[in-house]
Structure formats: structure tokens, C-alpha cells
A and B are shown apart, each in its own frame.
Chain A
Amino acid sequence: MVLVGALGVIFRKHPVHAALSLVLTLFGIAVLFVAQSAEFLAAVQVIVYAGAIVILFLFVIMLLGVDKAEDLKIEPLASQRWVAAIVGLGMVGLLTAAVVSGSDVLRERGLGIANSVAGENADANIQQLANSIFSDYVFAFEVTSVLLVVAVVGTVLLARRRTGKGVA
């Protein structure tokens, strides 16, 4: 499902179709999160990513004009597709090599999927996550909240139409 959605994103001409393919991908990822006992993240993924971000994308697509479907047959920059192909294949190959060669190390270091997080102190996933965020990473948490505020304020200023700031 994930792969189908991903391929759809890059191959669909119409931006709206591409956005819907993205939703497909995100749902697939959420399912995979659940399969890995990361329930909280799966929920957040659906709510934030699939729910808010893709909607945002769709709003902007509407705003800027939908009927401009990109013509994928032509490529004005020569050799761009070749470079893309090389990059893609290279990445796949290298990452596979990395994963395969590192998988033994991973197996040694880690405790394996069989040994899931349910152990002696079997907190639920969300409890563990909350413990980690609010004790080890509380500073980062605060900073990200500031980041969100900044992002919102900045974007509002940036995209205003009237008084000059941020108007292209």
C-alpha cells in the first residue's frame, strides 16, 4: 500500500491525485507503526499528517489553480531524468547494502522484535513515550512549541496580501 501510494505521488499528473496518493501512503505508514507497537505515533500520524497536512496541501492547490496539470512527457532540463534515475538507483542500492550489512549488528545489539517492549515494566506505549518526552527531552519539547508558534506567526505575516510584507 505504501509503495503504491508513493509511486502514485510521483507519477500522477494532477496535483490533487498526487495528494490523494500521499494520503494512501500515510495511512500505510500508520498501519506499519501499529504493527511495530507504536500506537501513539500511528494515531498522531493519521491526525496530523494525513489529517492536517494533506488538507493544507489541498487548500493551497485549490488556491493556486488546479487545472494546471503538469505535462510529464516533456522535461525542459536535459539529463535531469537521467540524474534522477542514477540518484534513485544509487540510493536504493546503497541503503540496501547498508541495511543488509548492518542487520547482523542490529540483531546483536538489539533484543529482537520478539522481545517487544512489553517486558517487566510493561508500561503502555504511550506512557513510555510520555515519560521520555517530558523528562529527557522536555527542553526540546518546549522549543518545538515555540517553533510552532513562530511558524504560524511567520506564515501569517508572509502570506498576507495587503500591506506589503511577504507579498511576492
Chain B
Amino acid sequence: MTSSLWLLPAFPLFGALVLMAFGRRLGEPQSGWFAAAMPIASFIVSVSVYFDLLSRSSEERHEIVTLFSWIPVGALHIDVALLADPLSITMALFITGIGSLIHLYAIGYMHGDPKFSKFFLYLNMFVFSMLMLVLGENLLVTFLGWEGVGACSYFLISFWHTRNSAAVAGKKAFVTNRIGDFGVMTAMFLAFSAFGSVSYASINEAAHTGAIAPVTATAIGLLLFVGACGKSAQLPLYLWLPDAMEGPTPVSALIHAATMVTSGVFLMTRMSPILHASYEWAPMIIACVGAATALYAATIAVAQNDIKKVLAYSTVSQLGYMFLAVGSGAYVAAIFHMVTHAFFKALLFLGSGSVIHGMHHEQDMRRMGALRKLMPVTAVTFIIGWLAIAGVPPFAGFWSKDEILLYVYANNRGLYVVGLITALLTAYYMTRQVIMVFYGEAKWKDHAHDHGAHGDFEPHESPKIMLFPLVVLSVLSVIGGAMQLPFTKKLHFLEHWLAPVVEESEADIHKTWAYEHKYVLLVIAVAIAITGIAAAIAVYSKKKVKAVEPRVLEQAWFYDAGAAKLIGGLGRAAFDAVAWTDAHIVDGAVNGTATMVRGIAGQVRKSQNGFTRVYAALMAVGAVVLLAWFVYRGVA
């Protein structure tokens, strides 16, 4: 069954190609259903591969399906090959699963859009790229997918490209990603020069056996982390993610919540032996960046008024958590949080999309309120998502967050405190969002006349096709925690499943204080969550305390403006210098060579002066020279 692994990316690719040719002819909604059928088919294949792997013993859960030889050049042999192992199949499962749900959702959300079929074309292409990314057997296939998702992200963010802000946001995303790509590429080159191969098998093998110098491992690891920062929106390359909310909400859900942004975490986990083989301080850097990002983004989310921007910053913050886990050696926890986060963040985004749809594309939360009676299903599912992200047991988010905090405490207490504060803020701003949207006063009534001339505007519930994914995801958000419950070893399903991939790099915390007192930490986490929720209720619902939303937070610590100034000032000067060098020195050398040749030719040309006697003279001189040569040969 695993040999049919190639079907996984083949279905969405086929879908994309068909839509490219016939999309417009299929029209709405047939193109949507066709496109949705592709990831569903892939999901079925990945489930079957999952069961196949499950039936094998732990050591044998590792199969490579080589499709064809891609680059056989001298010492460099790279094949297009897919790797089926626990990590890649886990990723594939939730990518295809959530991808299918979002495709279905989009059929309803994009209803009436003139570029309906093109949207699904891009979505399918995206799923294909993402699957190549996670299923790749070597860095180059992964990079292929990496670039592919970057490109599709650009297409999808600027989908409504007639809107200037959307086009700009798409460009920003692409350029920022590119900076990260530079890191990945350099890491690939380093890996090749160090090991002669870019396949994970050889790299990780070398890292396990210690055949790799810590310097090389650190370099590769940190360069890949630069790429991950770009893709997964960490400081300082995060600034494309909030702007990416310009894209349609299904895009935000799929790409910027569940899949693309997690590819950085995936890459780090895939290369965990490298991180394990590097210097001590390298993972610490990753952890610190992750923690800083988490806190930073959480503070910003507190002051945002756009329903999607809150969720965007929340995503950045949660990704920071995942990197904090990676940096602390908690790879299983990072993957665990990745999966649960995919569930509830996609749920939250889709829910917000439903709200936007019902509010006729109004996104400002200050104009909403008291929607829970008018949009009951949306409200209930959104609340479930809220509870999950806030870290309230028994919802999924609590278990995964707690797992991370456990490992972080064992690693470094300072980072643990940062993580706790972030958890507090997370609960706070998510509660704030729920209150502003679904409870409180019905502020939309004041703006009813803004939304078109068809009489009384009233927000309505979304069609069933949009509600179905919400329900499914909310169920998953409830039960998802069962993957890795901390109570006994037997319940650590995810840990056992992922063992062949990350076991040796996983931090061993069994003898630490944290592990022995994990229930204490668990209680602390619950307390923090409840505190955050209570604080938000006090501020926004009961209005007992005044809201604190300073402008600096709303403007995201003026990061965007600062970055623009830097690029515009120093950056511009540097770019101008480079351009000058290119125009004068490089071009000058090329043109100079041509001019020199022309000059020499001009001089040589003078010998052709048309006078017969000159030619005769030259011939005679030549004859004399030849004669001299022969005489010399004869005499000497």
C-alpha cells in the first residue's frame, strides 16, 4: 500500500492541471467539488498508508518510494523520492484532512466570486506543494515544495489583486519568504559539501553517528532556522503574516494557520539529529527566538480590532510556542501542538470567515456584537475553538501547551515564565475577541445602513457547506488531546508513534524536577488560563476595569514602520551601491573588453591600406623570413 505513496501528491497535482485547462468551463460550483475531491482522495490514501505503517513494527516504519532520478550529475545524485515515516504521514494526514475540509468550506465562501475556479486551482496547487514538502525524502524535494507553497501563498494572498493592499501584501509575503529561502539554500549547499548528499537518511545518519562536526551541524541548523523564521513567521521575518490576512479567509485558514506556516517547525523536527549534534547554544537560540516571538505577538493581539488580525498574531504567537518546544528538545510536544493548533486555529479562522460572511464582509470587531443568537452554530464552534486555544482542559490545546511548558521548565525557568505570560495573554485576547464578537451590545445595528440598500441588514448564519467543516474541526479540537495525555506512559501515543524519527534527539527529562512534579505545572497552567479569561471578562464584559490597548501595541510596536525605514534608508543606499557596481564595474568590464577588441581591430585594420606595393613588401618580408628559417636549419 505504501508504494502508492505517489498518489498522495498526484491527486492535487492532477486537480490543478485539470483546473488549469478546464476550470473556467467547469464553472461554479463544479470546479469546487472537483477540486475538493482531490484532497479527499489524498486523505484516503494517507489513511491507508497510515494503517500500513501502523501494522509494522516501530523500526520498519520507514519506506522510501523513489519516483525518478532527478539530478544525476557527477557526485550529485538527487532523486525525486517520497519518504513515508511517522512524521511525514502525520503531517500528510492533517494536511489532507484539514485541506479537504477547507476546500469544502471554500465552495460556500467563494460563492459568486468571478475567479472561483482559479481559486481552487491555486488551492490544489498549494496542497500538492505542501505534500511534496512533507513527503520529500531529501532536502531538495522538500525545498521544491517549500518554494511551491511560497508561490501559492503569494497567488492566494493577492487573489483579489485589484485591491492594492492585497497585491502589496502578496509581494511582501513572497519577498520575506525569499530571505528565509536563502537560509535553506545555503544550508542545503553546506549539507552537500559536508556529506555529499542532501537526503535525510544520510544527513541524519551522519548526525547520529557523530560523523558531523558541531560547527557544521550548528551552521546547517541555524541556516535552516533562518528559513523556518521566514516561512513560519518568527521574529524578525514575521511581518508578512498579519498582512497576509488580505487573502480570502479559507486561505488564511489553510495556509496561515494549519499548513504552510508549520513547515518551518516540520523542517526543524525532520532535522532534529542535526540540532542535537550542534553546540548547546544553538537550540537555545531557537528557543529564545520562539519565546520572544510568542510574547511579542501576544502583546500585539491584545490591541487589534480586525477579527482576522487577532487570529494572525495569535498564529505567530503559537508558532513561537512550537519553536520554543523545538529549542527545548521537545519535538514530540512541538508536533503535538502543531496538530492541535491546526485543528483549533483552522476552526477559529473558518469561524471568523463565517462571521465575516454573515456580516457581509465586515471585519472590524467593534462593529459586531451579540451575534451568538443570530449565528448559533458558528458561535458554538468558535467558542470551542476559543476554549481550546486558551488552554482550558479537556480541550486539545491545553494538553499540547502543557506538554510544551513541561519541557521548557526543564530546560530553562526564564523561558518558562515567558511561556506562562504568553499563555495568560493568549487566554486574555481570545476571550476579548469572543466577547466583542458574540456577546455584548449589538453594535452592528448602528451600522446597518452601511451594508447595502436591501432594507434591514441582519447578520445571518452561513450555509451548511460552510458549517460542516466547523463542526468537524470543533469535534477534533475537543478530542484531539487524546493523542498524548500526560498521565501514564501508555497514553503517550504520539510519542511512541514518532519515536523512530525523533527519539534520539528528544530531550530526556525523566529525571528532572519538572517531570516528577508535572501535575503541579499542570495545575499552574489551568490557573493561568482561567485568570486570563476572568481578566478579559472583567474588562470587556463587565466593564469593571478600563481596557488597556495602547497605540504602540496596535501598531505592532511600530515594527513595520521601522523595517520600512531601515530598508528605505540603509537598504536603499546598499542597493544603490550594488547597482552602481553592476552598471559600472561589471558592465564596464564587459563593455571594456569589447571596446578594447574594437580598438585593437581598428589599429590592425590600418595595415590593409589598399596599396599593392605594401602587400608585396609584406609578402617579400615573409618570404625572407621563411628563407632565413630554412637556411638556419640547413646550416645549423
Q: A and B: direct contact (Cβ < 8 Å)?
A: yes
- A residues sitting closer than 8 Å to B (CB atoms) are 77, 80, 83-84, 86-87, 90-91, 94-95, 97-98, 101-102
Residues in B whose Cβ lies below 8 Å from that of A90: 624, 627-628
Residues in A whose Cβ lies below 8 Å from that of B635: 97, 101
- What is the total of A-B residue contacts with beta carbons within 8 Å? 38
Please name the residue on chain A nearest to B619 by beta carbon: A87
Tell me whether B545 is interfacial, beta carbon within 8 Å. Answer: no
Separation of A101 and B630 alpha carbons in the complex (Å): 12
Of the candidates A77, A80, A94, the one having the most CB atoms from chain B within 10 angstroms of its own CB is A94
Q: Is the CB of B628 within 8 A of A94?
A: yes
Residues in B whose Cβ lies below 8 Å from that of A77: 611, 613-614
Tell me whether B617 is interfacial, beta carbon within 8 Å. Answer: yes
Separation of A2 and B624 alpha carbons in the complex (Å): 23
A-B contact pairs, 19 of them (CB 8 A): A77-B613, A77-B614, A80-B613, A80-B614, A80-B617, A83-B617, A83-B621, A86-B624, A87-B617, A87-B620, A87-B621, A87-B624, A90-B627, A90-B628, A91-B623, A94-B627, A98-B631, A101-B631, A102-B634
Residues in B whose Cβ lies below 8 Å from that of A83: 617, 620-621
Q: Do A97 and B631 form a contact, CB below 8 Å, given A87-B617, A87-B624, A91-B624?
A: yes
Residues in A whose Cβ lies below 8 Å from that of B617: 80, 83-84, 87
Residues in A whose Cβ lies below 8 Å from that of B634: 98, 101-102
Nearest chain A CB to B254's CB is how many angstroms away?
A: 85
* In the complex, chain B residues 596-636 whose Cβ is within 8 Å of any chain A Cβ: 611, 613-614, 617, 620-621, 623-624, 627-628, 630-631, 634-635
Separation of A77 and B611 alpha carbons in the complex (Å): 9
Separation of A95 and B635 alpha carbons in the complex (Å): 12
Residues in A whose Cβ lies below 8 Å from that of B627: 90-91, 94-95, 98
- B residues sitting closer than 8 Å to A (CB atoms) are 611, 613-614, 617, 620-621, 623-624, 627-628, 630-631, 634-635
Please name the residue on chain A nearest to B635 by beta carbon: A101
Other than the known A86-B621, A98-B630, what 15 A-B pairs have Cβ atoms closer than 8 Å?
A77-B611, A77-B613, A80-B617, A83-B620, A83-B621, A87-B621, A91-B623, A91-B624, A91-B627, A94-B624, A94-B631, A95-B627, A97-B631, A98-B631, A102-B634
Please name the residue on chain B nearest to A101 by beta carbon: B635
Please name the residue on chain B nearest to A95 by beta carbon: B627
Please name the residue on chain A nearest to B630 by beta carbon: A98
Nearest chain B CB to A105's CB is how many angstroms away?
A: 9
Residues in B whose Cβ lies below 8 Å from that of A94: 624, 627-628, 631
Nearest chain A CB to B250's CB is how many angstroms away?
A: 86
Nearest chain A CB to B489's CB is how many angstroms away?
A: 103
Nearest chain A CB to B122's CB is how many angstroms away?
A: 75
Separation of A77 and B613 alpha carbons in the complex (Å): 9
Separation of A84 and B617 alpha carbons in the complex (Å): 7
Nearest chain B CB to A95's CB is how many angstroms away?
A: 7
Separation of A38 and B340 alpha carbons in the complex (Å): 118
Residues in B whose Cβ lies below 8 Å from that of A98: 627, 630-631, 634
Separation of A87 and B625 alpha carbons in the complex (Å): 9
Separation of A95 and B628 alpha carbons in the complex (Å): 9
Separation of A104 and B634 alpha carbons in the complex (Å): 13
Residues in A whose Cβ lies below 8 Å from that of B621: 83, 86-87
Residues in B whose Cβ lies below 8 Å from that of A87: 617, 620-621, 624
Of the candidates B613, B617, B621, B628, the one having the most CB atoms from chain A within 10 angstroms of its own CB is B617
Residues in B whose Cβ lies below 8 Å from that of A102: 634
Separation of A94 and B631 alpha carbons in the complex (Å): 7
Nearest chain A CB to B63's CB is how many angstroms away?
A: 84
Nearest chain B CB to A59's CB is how many angstroms away?
A: 23
Nearest chain A CB to B608's CB is how many angstroms away?
A: 14
